[in-house]
Amino acid sequence: MKLTDYRTLGRSGLRVSPLCLGTMTFGTDWTFGAEVDVSRAMLDRYLSAGGNFIDTANIYTKGHSEAILGDYFAERGGRERVVLATKFCGSLHRGDPNAGGAGRKAIHQQLEQSLRRLRTDYVDLYWMHFHDPHTPMEETLRALDDLVAAGKIRYVGVSDTPAWVVAQGQVEARFRGWSPFVALQIEYSLIERSVEHDLLPMAQAHGLGITPWSPLRGGLLSGKYGRNRQPQGEGRHVPGVSKSLTERNYDIIEAAESVASEVGTGMAQVALAWVLSRPGITSPILGARTLSQLEGNLQALDLDLPKDLIARLNAASAPVPVFPHAFLANTKHVMQSGATINGQASDPWPMAPATDQERW
């Protein structure tokens, strides 16, 4: 696979690369991340390989990430050849209740500020960064549809939002003839698979392209961590990683290490290839901090994991079932009672009548 093996994003005509370049690491304003020259080098490398999908957000590195992108394309050109995505909801103004969130006023001012930093007239994909419980979904959707009609955004996406909220919005948008969501951005990796319960099947049912963030779980699956191995020195942990160093996650890391050794590659490449192999996935988002990390991540495109190794990874990382999914796993026997439907076999239900005479 190559970055030029483009895919349509969800139920849309927007073509994107199979790996997206995430830019949360562009700028050091959050004390971790890449200097401007390194950020530019990563852009050069990604674009020269044919990549066209770049993801940022208004709040990333206090707005510096967007500014780095804006300056880069203003100087180098080629803005029209990339799918440039940014996000709204996060506030950059302390104490201002309308500086963040998904209300109409907030959306308009956040977009205007993003366009200024990005030095562009439009955004290709505008993400609702997270669920805003204080704003009716119809207000958000109508505001976004107005911006599509005005030509300031091309497509609408949704990120980090409960499945029922996304489904509600998707149905309402189609009912009212507004621009629907075309993509869903969620955390997804060998370590974080809880989204398989509801968010992933919901996205597939509603025609949403899925762009997972943190496919290496903040570096846990990069090869730096193990039961007896942790990075040393200042800045060795991405915020939030330390609390994830659990026995379960060490088991997953060891399974990924074993597979990587068997196929002769690195753990990061295995973890990314696994995400790429999952149903419904369009374009995982890379979060590299150095050029060498980006180079390693791009190598995942060359890795086609055998089915038996995928099964081994699946078994090691299987998510714990939650209600009602754990309960529903057994109801097929009650419904099918020994029949096979759409390839799914079942056991005869022992409490069902064995003969017609036993039925009331």
Give the pLDDT confidence of 170-200 residue by residue, as tens digits: 999 999 999 999 999 999 999 999 999 999 9
Q: How far is CA 229 from CA 8, 225, 234, 240, 290, in A?
A: 40, 5, 16, 18, 21
Read off the pLDDT of each residue in 208-235 and give the average, rounded to a whole number: 84
Helices (H) and strands (E) in the chain, counts: 11, 10
Q: What is the CATH number of domain 7-317?
A: 3.20.20.100
Are residues 199 and 193 in contact, defined by beta-carbon separation less than 8 angstroms?
A: no
CA angle 50, 56, 58 (to 5 degrees): 155
Share of the chain above pLDDT 90, in %: 82
Task: State residue 225 phi and psi, 5-degree precision.
Answer: -110, 145
pLDDT tens profile 73-89: 999 999 999 999 999 99
Are residues 59 and 92 in contact, defined by beta-carbon separation less than 8 angstroms?
A: yes
Please report how the helices 64-76 and 104-118 are oriented relative to each other, as an axis angle in degrees rounded to 10: 40
Which pLDDT score, from 0 to 100, does residue 228 have? 81
236 has pLDDT over 50? no
Domain residue limits, the chain: 7-317, 330-358
233 has pLDDT over 60? no
AA letter at 196: E
pLDDT tens profile 275-291: 999 999 999 999 999 99
Task: Report, as residue numbers or ranges, the catalytic residues.
Answer: 60
113-140 in b/e form (b: 16+ CB < 10 A) is: bbbebbbbebbbbbbbbbbbeebebeeb
The band of 239, judged by pLDDT with boundaries at 50, 70 and 90, is low
Which pLDDT score, from 0 to 100, does residue 357 have? 79
Which pLDDT score, from 0 to 100, does residue 58 have? 97
Which pLDDT score, from 0 to 100, does residue 232 have? 62
pLDDT tens profile 113-149: 999 999 999 999 999 999 999 999 999 999 999 999 9
Q: Which residue has the tokens 């880069």?
A: 72
The band of 328, judged by pLDDT with boundaries at 50, 70 and 90, is confident
Which of the two residues, 18 and 349, has the higher pLDDT score? 18
